[in-house]
Amino acid sequence: MTVDRHSLLFDNIATAAGSGGTANLDEQGGTPPPSQGSRIASSVLSPAVQLLLRSQVQQVDELKVKIEGSDRQIFSGAIPKVTAAARGAVYKGLHLTEVALEGCGIRINLGQALKGKPLRLLESVPVTGVLRLSQADLNASLKAPLLADALSEFLLPMLPLTDSEKSLKLQDSQIKIEAGKLTLSATILRAGGTQIPVVLRTGLRIASGRELMFESPEIEVDGEIKSSDFNDFKIDFGQEVEIDELILSPGEIVCRGSIRVLP
């Protein structure tokens, strides 16, 4: 199926994502159809997990969590499905416009947790999801030390700079998202106060399930086009990640994929 800026649907996750360009946050968490059995455990767990997630983020405009399964399944530590959808979440300074997730076949040590032991996963869990990042939220995230430092450490060593300049940091970073292309503009401040403008223009595509690759990158340093080592450069997200679809549209990025969460 195709994910575009007007549809954040992903397979078999109707409760977590819907049409109309947004994660489906209008679905009320709570009691599912009667055919799914008693919901005492899940109606208690869903709000508890929602409260836990809210405590882990700096901000979230809307958050819905739904835990599906019978009391017998859940009290035995087997949760058939958990879906979550959030809008306007901020985690460690990273602004997530919209995200919708689904995890199935979850096994936890609920019996031990009820006796005071820490709650933990007993097996790895495949989680499928859709993430939408607006240009405004991506640029707000660039102000967070987590992303700003990572961007400097990743980008500066690959620019045609002197060894001393490669130890500096990017400042005033801004990203423009266009159809199939990203443009990063930033400045490097030399020790003497001189500013070096840097512009990176590149396409971005899936190289493999776990890798993204720069496509036809162009580097401009202080107004001059420079040769670089960015051609065919790949970003590896690790063997637990599977990127199914990546769409760059004017003003936003939509990504659909999965990740295996380890115990």
* Residue at 29 is within a domain: no
In the listed set 132, 166, 182, which residue is the last one of a domain according to the structure? Answer: 132
Categorize the per-residue pLDDT at 40 as very low, low, confident or very high, splitting at 50, 70 and 90.
low
- The domain tally of the chain equals 2
In the listed set 105, 132, 159, which residue is the last one of a domain according to the structure? Answer: 132
* Residue at 251 is within a domain: yes
Domain of residue 55, residue span: 34-132
* Residue at 22 is within a domain: no
* Residue at 55 is within a domain: yes
- Is 62 within 8 Å of 86 (Cβ atoms)? yes
* Residue at 14 is within a domain: no
* Residue 227 CB-density burial (10 A; 0-12 exposed, 13-18 middle, 19+ buried): exposed
Distance between CA atoms of 93 and 59, rounded to whole angstroms? 9
Average confidence (pLDDT) over 25-30: 41
Whether 151 and 73 share a structural domain: no
Residue 165 has pLDDT above 50, yes or no: yes
Whether 171 and 232 share a structural domain: yes
Distance between CA atoms of 239 and 9, rounded to whole angstroms? 25
* Residue at 5 is within a domain: no
Whether 156 and 89 share a structural domain: no
> What pTM does this model have?
0.77
Whether 63 and 155 share a structural domain: no
* Residue at 9 is within a domain: no
* Residue at 6 is within a domain: no
In the listed set 132, 154, 182, which residue is the last one of a domain according to the structure? Answer: 132
Whether 60 and 115 share a structural domain: yes
Whether 163 and 198 share a structural domain: yes
Whether 121 and 160 share a structural domain: no
Q: What is the pLDDT of residues 223-257, one digit of tens each?
A: 888 766 677 778 888 899 999 999 999 999 999 99
- Is 88 within 8 Å of 97 (Cβ atoms)? yes
Span of 27-36, 75-84, 128-137 with lowest mean pLDDT: 27-36
Span of 18-22, 85-89, 123-127 with lowest mean pLDDT: 18-22
